[in-house]
A and B are shown apart, each in its own frame.
Chain A
Amino acid sequence: MDDFIAARSQMALSLGFHIIFSCIGMVMPFFMAVSHYKWLKTNDEVYKNLTKAWSKGVAIFFATGAVSGTMLSFELGLLWPKFMDHAGPIFGMPFSLEGTAFFIEAIALGFFLYGWNKLNKWFHWFTGMVVGVSGLASGILVVAANAWMNSPAGFDFVNGKYLNIDPIQAMFNKAWFSQALHMCLAAFTATGFAVAGVHALMILRNRNAAFHLKAFKIAAIFACIGALLQPLSGDISAKDVAKRQPAKLAAMEALYKTEKPAPLLIGGIVNEKDKTVKGAIKIPGALSFLAHGDFKAEVKGLDQIPENEHPPVAITHYAFQVMVGIGTLLLFISLIYFFILFKKKPLTEKRWILKLFVFAIPLGYLALEAGWVVTEVGRQPWIIYGIMRTKDAVTPMPGIAYSFYIFSAIYVSLSIIVTFLLYRQIKMVPVLYNKTEQNN
């Protein structure tokens, strides 16, 4: 395997792994806080057990997310030293703030996990909220750093030199808001659907239904609100990308030729050699509308971008289709769920909606990973958009392929173990949290 490809694969793998754990770590604390609040207010033992059960999941995910995040902070240098040499001082601001946020999250988690019966109950609840808020802040800051790679700001690039560096301006680059908003909503939607789905499965199997029903309701409401808001955030992102990174937008839609008005392609097989797309459904003018808010506007195609600056079209296009497709599906599930809530029908009588949620367990994360692929692969061949190429940033050390194999093995085994642990936690719910039983 080529060292450059190996370095990119390792980075993609590490991020793809970390993103799931960090999203769960940043969203679950909010679910816990709701359940914890209900326990403190209603004294209903089920909510206390639910909070504890979830907190165990959070501990597992937080630990895994923390070590994979530590790994990433080194990996930036291990794999992309030439990038970090220049980029470190420019886009480092969000990272230094993220360090603080992450630290606070770790401290608060210590209080929360070990504070049962030891702390004032409302202070205890507050520490749980701090875990969530600082986790969310960490997420936003890291995404702001990534946004800088898409939308470099805060320096002047003169004759290959990075001058007049302003880290604050770099942090508040043009892409930070749209990307951070999209990512946060995605985190809530994906985690919400995954958690709700698992509890829906348990309700369908009739195990501890009271416990799982309460859990399902909390997770589902977060998930559905996220799914409803996500299209709006997607629209902001699309218009933003159209303005800043026309090559990425063109690759997302496999738009080889500049068109006015441009149609929206749904699906289709991309042939990168002939630069054609076969079998796609075309909606006339829709891309013009999505990109520029006008059904007749011109949308820049890849023909207006030098060939050596084209991102891989097929991957970006397919990933985009997966993301939007799943997003739409989750939107419909959310609408149905809200309709049922509105009608006040008991969920246990509507087994088919629970089955829909079970079906949706992996979907949110699939969409989230696909979206990550769109933004990362769509930025290629650049590591700093328009400034530095990814291949110029890679480490001079040969043999990165071995490193890639080793870390792949580690991440695969970790995924298996974490899944296994969760399975055991869920399986043990009847034993650990029986209503009549008091336990810690």
Chain B
Amino acid sequence: MEQVVITFLCMAILLYFLLGGADFGAGIIELFTSTKNRSKTRKTMYQAIGPVWEANHMWLIIAIVILFVGFPHIYTTMSVYLHIPLAIMLIGIIARGTAFVFRHYDAVKDDMQWLYNRIFRYSSFITALFLGIIAGSLISGHIDTQATDFYSAYIAGWLNWFSLAVGLFTVALCGFLAAIYLIGETTEAHDKRRFIKKAEFMNIAAVVFGAMVFIAAQRDKIPLIDWVFKSSVGVSAIILASLSLVLLWYLLIKGKTKILRILAGFQVTMILLAISYAHFPNFIRLKSGDAISLLETVGPEKTIYSLGLALLLGSVLILPFLGYLFYKFQKKEE
């Protein structure tokens, strides 16, 4: 059952990154869209993600519940030492989640829209940034559980070049995912071109920030290069990601839009795999050189058993229903 639970945890994190990430990306794209095109972007976005909006964010809940039920020590270590970035991410989640719904359900469309839009865009950016910062901090080895002063216990763990670079990289990836998704959701040639431009822009940003992640890792003495290039899985994942990127741009020129999102999702999955495979099942790397591993901190047997059962049962109910939701609202009405 342990493997089942860990598989679900990885799947929930991955899906949150892809689906939730594309949602954040939609806000980020809006942030980088010129004023005259904004309302159009908004409309396309709303039609595209409106129906699946709430469901996309459930993966975070699933991941967090698996953590606190099955791996309480990991959950509480994160909660204590990454309290501040978690709180900021939560503020972002609250702000964008409510602003997104408020701007659609305000019965009077007036100046309040200006406020909702502002909040939505900036909080999308901040949420993705801090999601990345938290992910980076977990593997950065800066978290110091023996620290005695406030700065090294609660700030230094996440406020460092590596975490920040991972944060920006995440923002770019989210934007990329969203742009690719939106290309397939619009029928107008002009809009398509606009989203393709955005995808190019975000792709370049991802490459730049990706390079920054490696530079920051060198600077902070994080063996990222070893993780990625010294394991066959890491190398293959990087090769596959690069190949899929080439294929993606080729198909884009050919005008095949629906398959793109699968490729983009695959690409991001490969990047995550390359970064995390080498130190799996370690979940948090600590400053002392130790690591907190999923396998070593796993909860009591009966708990894991019933958690695994609940997840299996849940997925039988959820996945077909969710699949139908995506299928039903995927295409625009012709």
Contact = CB atoms under 8 A, between A and B. Distances in A.
B61 A82 contact: no
Interface stretch (B35-43, B48-56, B176-184, B193-201): B48-56
Interface stretch (A108-116, A198-206, A251-259, A288-296): A108-116
Chain A interface size, under 10 / 10 to 19 / 20 to 34 / 35 or more: 35 or more
Interface in A87-128: 88-90, 92-93, 95-100, 102-104, 106-111, 113-115, 118-119
A67 B75 contact: no
A210 interface: no
A74 B102 contact: no
A76 interface: yes
A144 to B, nearest CB: 13
A145 to B, nearest CB: 11
B105 A93 contact: no
A81 B311 contact: no
Contacts of A395: 79-80, 83
A56 interface: yes
A167 B303 contact: yes
A81 B328 contact: no
B79 A96 contact: no
A56 B105 contact: yes
B64 interface: yes
A313 to B, nearest CB: 32
Contacts of A86: 72
Contacts of A78: 79, 83, 86-87
Interface string B76-89: 10111001001100
B93 to A, nearest CB: 6
B321 A104 contact: yes
Contacts of B58: 99, 102-103, 106
Interface stretch (A227-235, A365-373, A420-428): A420-428
Interface string A162-201: 0001111000000000000000000000000000000000
A5 interface: no
Contacts of A103: 55, 58, 61-62, 314, 318, 322
Contact of B61 (A85, A99, A424): A99
Contact of B300 (A63, A89, A118): A89
Majority secondary structure, A binding face: helix
A88 B299 contact: yes
Nearest to B61: A99
A92 B69 contact: yes
A97 B318 CA distance: 12
A73 interface: yes
A84 B321 CA distance: 32
B90 interface: yes
B303 A89 contact: yes
Nearest to A76: B68
B189 interface: no
B101 interface: yes
A89 B69 contact: yes
A429 to B, nearest CB: 9
Contacts of A403: 87
Bin the interface of chain B by size. Answer: 35 or more
B22 interface: no
Given A100-B318, A102-B61, A397 B90 contact: no
Nearest to A109: B54
B240 interface: no
A89 B62 contact: no
**Which one of A66, A68, A166, A432 has the greatest number of beta carbons of chain B within 10 Å?**
A66
Contacts of B97: 63-64, 66-67, 70
Nearest to A431: B107
Contacts of A85: 72-73, 76
Contact of B51 (A62, A71, A113): A113
A73 B95 CA distance: 17
A63 B317 contact: no
Nearest to A396: B80
A168 to B, nearest CB: 6
A82 B76 contact: yes
A410 interface: yes
Interface in B101-124: 101-102, 104-108
B73 A110 contact: no
B55 to A, nearest CB: 5
B98 A84 contact: no
19 contacts: A63-B101, A70-B60, A70-B93, A84-B75, A84-B76, A85-B76, A88-B299, A92-B65, A95-B68, A103-B58, A103-B318, A113-B50, A165-B300, A168-B302, A395-B79, A395-B80, A406-B91, A410-B91, A425-B105
Nearest 10 pairs of A and B residues by beta carbon: A92-B69, A77-B79, A100-B314, A88-B72, A63-B101, A89-B299, A428-B107, A106-B54, A81-B76, A67-B97
Given A88-B72, A108-B321, A414-B94, 10 more contacts: A63-B101, A85-B72, A99-B61, A99-B65, A103-B62, A104-B317, A168-B302, A397-B154, A406-B91, A410-B94
